[in-house]
Chains A and B, each alone.
Chain A
């Protein structure tokens, strides 16, 4: 099976979707001729023409707002916001329009759009190239929120998102674009070509939205993670030797609660890990759900390892980013060690 980077997998997902359905339209800033600042749309304009893949003005509200109009017409726009940090001008359109259109019109109009956004830190991106705003989407009724962690899932989830009848926020951890990253910034990064999840089948396949994946089966503690933190958690587990079960959530909403509850009921302990800031982050929702659904099985408080409640700094990158050492400490504490 061919191996692809996450960038190539995303590009392939869009390519497959555009070939299968001529209603799929792709645009965003630098997305057309140039093929995207991360190359995720490279070659698509040449292949499908300027009517299907084109450059947009630097106007996030305009990109999402026009996509909503296109969806109301009957197309399936898959648009890009260059960095998740720059989605805020489009937040009104995403939360009040895209998310509500089906509900408020009782299905008279719908909004099958995908909004792709590179997300996450670990790249010295500073304050506006590192944010993880997923909680700002999961809090909005009517939006689906997806975060892949590897090329195989990225392709399958993106095709599923494009085919989904509802608006999907597709957050791509840019730290994982070229290879997995476990937080050990002092070590060389291995490319996806050396990783089994870099195997990406040709052609059409989907990974269903709303289904988590168990990345490591274990019995001592459940780790809930997504995106880059899946690999950080794996490193922390290897380094502490704790027999943890690592669940890659993949979709934050709808959430695979059954998988979470089954695992925590088995292990009796839970550590939630995300890059985003702590307070009112998605980890708070996960922690509350575990507490509500697994209270009598819990043998320790649910722990959260997250970014600090500060803007994402530049020079202090590795003091901010929740790396394997911090995750490892939380695992040990949760085990009562």
Chain B
């Protein structure tokens, strides 16, 4: 029996390293690529509990696709995936710069997390609905949503589909299966479950995908979503993007001393997988597995994407104040773009030259889109949405008190 002094001590978790220290991820065990088995989709969740503590990986150190989760995508599909990730990265860089130039008020990058949303999108079918956070714009890019429209939203200009009502990057596109983004964290997680319940109630074949970050799993709506998904066996994929950081807060603050975020699903009887979030092939394969499960009415799946937020939290954030500057370089799962690039070179369908050429082409496309968007105005210059739009859409029909206020506003 351990004797204590009788004086309690308060525990506050701390990351391994702070600014000035040497980045150290030795506490993150990385299983070998190909080492995690691929169960049947109708597996009894109780028999795969260990998957919540491992990491499904396909691409190995030399860029080969190995193991039971490999082999789902053709060369063309992989080349397209690489292009999507490179486009998102280029888009991010330009929009981050546009924010610095005062063309918009705010931006959030995906740097290092491009594989998660780009590969996931390719596992869904038309009509499925994502309930994204603010860091899954790859869902739009990979679905062919026009970049110009995204930029119009970021600039809140006269062509902004959301009429200037929303903060930059809070996109919405029903047509592209991308639910309206809200600033309130985790709210959309339970909404995704409700959407999936509705699909089941309607005897439809569509499924929903819920998205949340590691930090926001601490919100109560994460719990609500898991309870409802489990109770009603809703056709939903419950995605947790563990990028290690919630603004300045390391993931241990949200996770506590528990094993993994994936393990949160086990208490609800929800099969829980952990996947290498920087491995395009692994993300796609796992998403496909979960999508098939949901579509076969086998219920929800929880997926934790293990990745690293390489950029700042947002254009208003400076990570050097709370983590080592070189930490992203030390991240053991590398960079998703480089890893897919190496795999395609290894497959003999890509080269450094073609990559450099593609980078230049993509940049050109993004700049062209940016020019077009800026032709419609930026936040403080050029065309902007009508002030009348401020009063529209609160309700389907404008009630008398809003009509009076619109009149008072002189519009």
Contact = CB atoms under 8 A, between A and B. Distances in A.
Interface of A: 25, 51-52, 56-57, 59, 61-62, 65-70, 72-75, 77, 89, 92-93, 96-97, 100-110, 141-142, 144, 164-166, 210, 253-255, 257-258
A69 B208 contact: yes
A34 B61 CA distance: 59
Interface residues of B, number: 47
A140 to B, nearest CB: 10
B63 interface: no
B400 interface: yes
A48 to B, nearest CB: 11
A254 B191 CA distance: 26
A59 B184 contact: no
B125 to A, nearest CB: 15
Contacts of A164: 396
Interface string B168-205: 00101110000110111001011111111111111000
B268 to A, nearest CB: 11
Given A109-B180, A253-B399, 10 more contacts: A65-B193, A75-B198, A75-B202, A96-B183, A102-B396, A103-B165, A104-B172, A108-B174, A109-B174, A257-B400
B162 A72 contact: no
Contacts of B165: 103-104, 106
Contacts of A101: 180
A253 B401 CA distance: 9
B197 A70 contact: yes
Given A61-B220, A97-B191, A104 B162 contact: yes
Given A106-B393, A254-B399, A72 B228 contact: no
Contact of A144 (B183, B199, B225, B395): B395
29 contacts: A51-B201, A57-B227, A59-B224, A61-B224, A62-B190, A65-B189, A65-B224, A65-B225, A66-B191, A66-B224, A69-B131, A69-B195, A70-B194, A73-B195, A73-B199, A77-B194, A96-B183, A103-B393, A103-B394, A104-B180, A105-B172, A108-B172, A108-B173, A108-B180, A109-B179, A141-B394, A142-B394, A165-B396, A166-B395
B191 A72 contact: yes
Interface string B108-130: 00000000000000000000010
A189 to B, nearest CB: 36
